[in-house]
């Protein structure tokens, strides 16, 4: 019987505090999402005052930190004031959630995929409240165990793993960033990356006539030790069967399904159990990595994590593989140094409508199995610590600038940020401007390798989020993609996605963390971004039209995760406008 292993955990936070810390983190995310998506302003240096027309009241609070793009931090207490002028009374966590979700009933009605009456909206309110509770409970559990200790050794693979498994709070503008409906407490102990776990993958063997796959490269998908173990179990009779890695939780789930049982009974699908070396789950929970093998696996997992059940529909697999195919041809042409894309090299599943999405595996490059770089997921570097200590990115910034203690000079922070932008923002703009390829480089899809604390190499992963401008791809005379390829979008939508994921989401988060924790005015740092975008308009990068749009537009797009979730938008995200910090900063 295989038993998942867990890394040593640092001493827990004060045991009286984890639930309170988790609730405050949830309140901050919920309230920041609410303010951003409703357009209710929060003013620097002023008390917080949020009208609640559906309740006929006003929410009151204090701002500890005001952020340009809405990454605000609040005091520990909130109050509600009836009619805006009565006696204010304290508001607990659950009451605060109820007040804000009540306001969404009307706001979300017009955005819903299935507009419905008030009874159905109230049901969605109760569902979302339960999912917020789920997220808070899981965050509390992770905080009770304590954050994984930062590796002291120089092992690059240990640093990569640490960043992947250190996200205790998650997305700063999502109402349920740590929800995982379908995982029991025992499942969390076995499979949650936040707990530092590792485990062996299960494998299924698939009869040749049932196999569906699309390969972009000749990369090895199955570790040699797994191939050897499986060969002994299958014998000569099934020598032509292909191997599919399966998350252990998913293996148990599938073997309870009638469709899988029928294939097993017909010998089309052979469960082989756990094989090979342990793998560890990354920040996305379902993507797993064997540090010594040059392929990692994006696995289906029939668990609702944040918004969706995380299986791999064939449309998603096709999008990732079509992106991998075209980027394989393009990346040798890229001029920018220090920038790399980790491609999906193909997918594999079974020819069975009921099972295809729940068995489809995407195979991703893991070049660090044979390289000395220690790329760290940017979301992990930016995560704020429950104990008030600096985010990990500040420790690297201090190392780079030679200031181990005290306040960092603003000029040094600006130089570090400029170095970061040169290997991230500028290449991302260039790839879109020259080729029409928009990469979904939000902070959880972005990896950073640092040398001496300085940004040295930037990586983007997860090609399933790629969008390619149909007009400019075809105008460039490139090899045609299938007309129905899910990677093809209109130019305006591909550009909107890049602006959101790279600028609003990624840079908005990075600038906020640097500004708050290095005590540098965020607008000064956005001025550094603006200078680099102006450079992107030069012939060197050929990004003039798009860079000009970033500089001249008064607004940026932001995904409305809260209203969209409440409205049941599913795969059709809703966007709202937020002020563009580059438009207002001095030239």
Instruction: Please state, in angstroms and rounded to a whole number, the distance separating the CA atoms of residues 485 and 418.
Output: 36
pLDDT of residue 205: 98
Compare 111 and 133 and report the one with higher pLDDT.
133
Pair 342, 463 in one domain:
no
Q: Helix, strand or coil for residue 544?
A: helix
Pair 536, 404 in one domain:
yes
Q: Kindly write down the DSSP assignment for every residue of 490-517, as one continuous string.
A: -HHHHHHHHIIIIIIIIIHHHHHHHHHH
Q: Which of 105, 108, 164, 135 is nearest to 30 (CA)?
A: 135
| pLDDT class of 15 with cuts at 50, 70, 90 | very low
**How many domains, in total, are found in the chain?**
3
pLDDT of residue 43: 87
Within-domain flag for 242: yes
Query: What per-residue string of b and e applies to 169-204 under the rule 16 or more CB within 10 Å gives b?
Result: bbbbbbbbbbbbeebeeeebebbbbbbbbbbbbbbb
pLDDT of residue 86: 81
- The answer for residues whose C-beta is within 8 angstroms of residue 153's C-beta and 6 or more apart is none
Within-domain flag for 265: yes
Instruction: Please state, in angstroms and rounded to a whole number, the distance separating the CA atoms of residues 490 and 557.
Output: 16
Within-domain flag for 445: yes
Within-domain flag for 188: no
User: Alpha-carbon torsion 425, 407, 14, 47, what sign?
Assistant: negative
| pLDDT class of 332 with cuts at 50, 70, 90 | confident
Instruction: Please state, in angstroms and rounded to a whole number, the distance separating the CA atoms of residues 285 and 305.
Output: 9
Within-domain flag for 173: yes
Compare 142 and 567 and report the one with higher pLDDT.
142
Q: Supply the DSSP symbol for 197.
A: E
Cα angle, residue 518 at apex, residues 517 and 521 outer, rounded to 5°: 100
User: How confident is the model over 161-192, as pLDDT tens digits?
Assistant: 999 999 999 999 999 999 998 899 999 999 99
Residue 345 · residue 217 · CB < 8 Å: yes
- The answer for residues whose C-beta is within 8 angstroms of residue 130's C-beta and 6 or more apart is none
- Specify the pTM: 0.93
User: How confident is the model over 509-530, as pLDDT tens digits?
Assistant: 999 999 999 999 999 999 999 9
Within-domain flag for 583: no
Compare 243 and 480 and report the one with higher pLDDT.
243
> What is the mean pLDDT of the segment spanning 87-100?
95
HEC profile of 209-264: HHEEEEECCCCCCCCHHHHHHHHHHHCHHHCCCEEEEECHHHHHHHCCCHHHHHHH
pLDDT of residue 479: 67
Q: Kindly write down the DSSP assignment for every residue of 322-370, as one continuous string.
A: HHHHHHHHHGGG---SSEEE--EEEEEEES-TTTHHHH-EEEEE-GGGS
Pair 139, 160 in one domain:
yes
Domain end residue (candidates: 126, 150, 178)? 178
Residue 3 has pLDDT above 50, yes or no: no
| Average pLDDT over all residues of the chain | 90
390: CATH: 1.10.510.40
Pair 149, 212 in one domain:
no
> What is the mean pLDDT of the segment spanning 503-512?
98
Residue 379 has pLDDT above 70, yes or no: yes
Place of tokens 């969706």: 308
Residue 481 has pLDDT above 90, yes or no: no
Within-domain flag for 462: yes
| pLDDT class of 569 with cuts at 50, 70, 90 | low
| Count of residues in the chain | 587
Task: Characterize the bridge pairing of strands 339-341 and 454-460.
Answer: parallel
Pair 174, 234 in one domain:
no
Pair 254, 357 in one domain:
yes
pLDDT of residue 16: 44
Residue 153 has pLDDT above 70, yes or no: no
Pair 263, 289 in one domain:
yes
Pair 9, 147 in one domain:
yes
In percent, the amount of the chain with pLDDT more than 90 equals: 75
Within-domain flag for 468: yes
Pair 27, 148 in one domain:
yes
Number of Cβ atoms within 10 Å of the Cβ of 43: 10
Instruction: Please state, in angstroms and rounded to a whole number, the distance separating the CA atoms of residues 549 and 528.
Output: 17
Pair 523, 443 in one domain:
yes
pLDDT of residue 321: 95
Pair 205, 131 in one domain:
no
| pLDDT class of 112 with cuts at 50, 70, 90 | low
Domain end residue (candidates: 150, 178, 206)? 178
Backbone angles phi, psi at 257, to 5 degrees: -95, 140
Distances (CA, A) of 543 to 87, 459, 533, 569: 56, 20, 9, 33
Pair 360, 391 in one domain:
no
Domain end residue (candidates: 369, 396, 415)? 369
- Domain containing 159 equals 1-178
Backbone angles phi, psi at 295, to 5 degrees: -130, 135
| pLDDT class of 537 with cuts at 50, 70, 90 | confident
Q: Which of 263, 149, 274 is nearest to 201 (CA)?
A: 274
């Amino acid at each position: 019987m295989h038993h998942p292993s867990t890394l040593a955990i640092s001493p827990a936070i004060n045991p009286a505090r984890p639930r309170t810390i988790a609730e405050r983190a949830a309140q901050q995310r919920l309230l920041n999402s609410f303010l951003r998506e409703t357009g209710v302003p929060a003013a620097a240096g002023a008390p917080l005052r949020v009208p609640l027309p559906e309740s006929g009241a006003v929410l009151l609070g204090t701002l500890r930190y005001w952020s340009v793009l809405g990454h605000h931090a609040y005091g520990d207490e909130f109050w509600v004031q009836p009619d805006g002028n009565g006696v204010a009374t304290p508001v607990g966590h659950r009451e605060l959630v109820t007040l804000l979700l009540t306001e969404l009933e009307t706001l979300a009605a017009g955005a819903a995929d299935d507009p419905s009456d008030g009874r159905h909206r109230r049901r969605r309110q109760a569902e979302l409240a339960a999912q917020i509770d789920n997220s808070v409970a899981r965050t509390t559990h992770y905080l009770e165990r304590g954050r994984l200790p930062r590796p002291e050794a120089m092992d690059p693979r240990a640093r990569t793993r640490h960043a992947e498994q250190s996200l205790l709070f998650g997305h700063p503008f999502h109402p349920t960033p740590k929800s995982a409906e379908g995982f029991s407490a025992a499942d969390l102990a076995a499979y949650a990356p936040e707990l530092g776990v590792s485990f062996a993958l299960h494998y299924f063997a698939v009869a040749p006539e049932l196999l569906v796959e699309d390969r972009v490269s000749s990369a090895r998908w199955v570790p040699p030790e797994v191939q050897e173990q499986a060969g002994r179990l299958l014998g000569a009779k099934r020598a032509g069967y292909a191997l599919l890695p399966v998350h252990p939780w998913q293996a148990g789930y599938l073997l309870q399904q009638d469709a899988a049982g029928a294939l097993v009974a017909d010998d089309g699908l052979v469960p082989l159990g756990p094989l090979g070396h342990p793998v560890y789950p990354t920040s996305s929970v379902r993507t797993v990595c064997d540090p010594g093998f040059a392929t990692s696996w994006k696995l289906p997992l029939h668990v609702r994590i944040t918004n969706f059940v995380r299986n791999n529909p064939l449309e998603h697999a096709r999008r990732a593989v079509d992106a991998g195919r075209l980027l394989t041809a393009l990346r040798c042409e890229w001029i920018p140094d220090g920038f790399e894309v980790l491609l999906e090299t193909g997918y594999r599943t079974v020819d069975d409508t009921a099972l295809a999405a729940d068995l489809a595996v995407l195979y991703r490059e893991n070049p660090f199995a044979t390289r000395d770089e220690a790329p760290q997921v940017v979301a992990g570097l930016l995560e704020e610590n429950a104990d008030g200590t600096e985010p990990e990115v500040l420790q690297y910034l201090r190392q780079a600038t030679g200031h181990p203690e005290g306040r960092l000079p603003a000029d040094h922070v600006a130089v570090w940020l400029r170095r970061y932008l040169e290997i991230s923002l500028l290449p991302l703009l260039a790839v879109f401007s020259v080729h029409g390829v928009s990469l979904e480089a939000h902070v959880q899809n972005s990896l950073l390798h640092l040398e001496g604390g300085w940004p040295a190499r930037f990586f983007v992963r997860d090609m399933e989020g790629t969008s390619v401008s149909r007009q400019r791809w075809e105008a460039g005379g490139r090899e045609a993609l299938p007309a129905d390829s899910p990677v093809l979008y209109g130019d305006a939508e591909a550009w909107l996605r890049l602006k959101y994921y790279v600028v609003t989401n990624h840079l908005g988060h990075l600038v906020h963390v640097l500004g708050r924790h290095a005590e540098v005015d965020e607008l000064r740092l956005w001025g550094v971004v603006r200078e680099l975008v102006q450079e992107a308009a030069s012939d060197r990068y050929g990004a003039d039209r798009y860079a000009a749009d970033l500089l001249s537009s008064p607004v940026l797009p932001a995904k409305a995760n809260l209203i969209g979730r409440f409205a049941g938008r599913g795969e059709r995200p809703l966007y709202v406008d937020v002020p563009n910090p580059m438009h207002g900063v001095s030239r």
